[in-house]
Amino acid sequence: MTRKFFVGGNWKMNGDKKSLGELIQTMNGGKVDSNVEVVCGAPSIYLDFVRSKLDSKFGVAAQNCYKVPKGAFTGEISPAMIKDCGVNWVILGHSERRHVFGENDELIGQKTAHALENGLGVIACIGEKLDEREGGITEKVVFAQTKVIADNVKDWSKVVLAYEPVWAIGTGKTASPQSVLCWVRHFFSSGSVTGATCKELASQKDVDGFLVGGASLKPEFIDIINAKA
């Protein structure tokens, strides 16, 4: 199956209505490649706001969801709630959810299954930490993360896998195209994607897109969207 080049923007816990409104205005006014699918991951409190302001040619994603439809789960949101905001995507298994909030592979697999059952597209994140890479267990870690996601997927047309070299985040180390491509084949590459690096990464035959962090909050996000062109 041929997929459009995919660019996700993960805004994380950043922004307010003023700054996000300005970013949305920039995106709406920017000239973007129509052959690229773009999805912006907004903080849950701003999902309604972003979906109402962002041009319909751009998708919107929640940054997380829980594994059941409703209940006594303070602070969580469900796929049904996400869809009720007009949003059709969710990011699951991001390294910060795994390593800051302690989400394990099993929980991420359960979340993936529930999100897909409820009609959301899933941006599923995988990737190894620096100590895992230096310990020579990258393949073991990435395989385990990927398997539990794959075990819960029946229709891959609703899923993108984003390989995130966690070791390249905040360590001063840079994920080169070569180091990314050791582990990415028709996955989407995350980590070290900026306006300066996007064209080289996009030119690699086995990179089908990006999941962008901080750079997705800047005007250069338009350049990243257009990197393939």
94 is catalytic: yes
Q: Which of 37, 96, 128, 164 is catalytic?
A: 164
Q: Which of 37, 94, 114, 128 is catalytic?
A: 94
Angle, vertex CA 57, rays to CA 5 and CA 97, nearest 5: 65
Alpha-carbon span 124 to 143, nearest angstrom: 13
The residue whose two tokens read 């996700």 is 8
Q: Which residues of 61-77 are buried (b: 16+ CB within 10 A; e: fewer)?
A: bbbbbbbeeeeeeeeeb
Tokens of 128: 């190894």
Q: For residue 213, give the amino acid letter.
A: G
What are the phi and psi torsion angles at 130 (to 5°)? Answer: -60, -45
Angle, vertex CA 206, rays to CA 169 and CA 33, nearest 5: 85
Of 153, 190, 186, residue with least CA distance to 169? 190
99 is catalytic: no
Q: Which residues are catalytic?
A: 94, 164
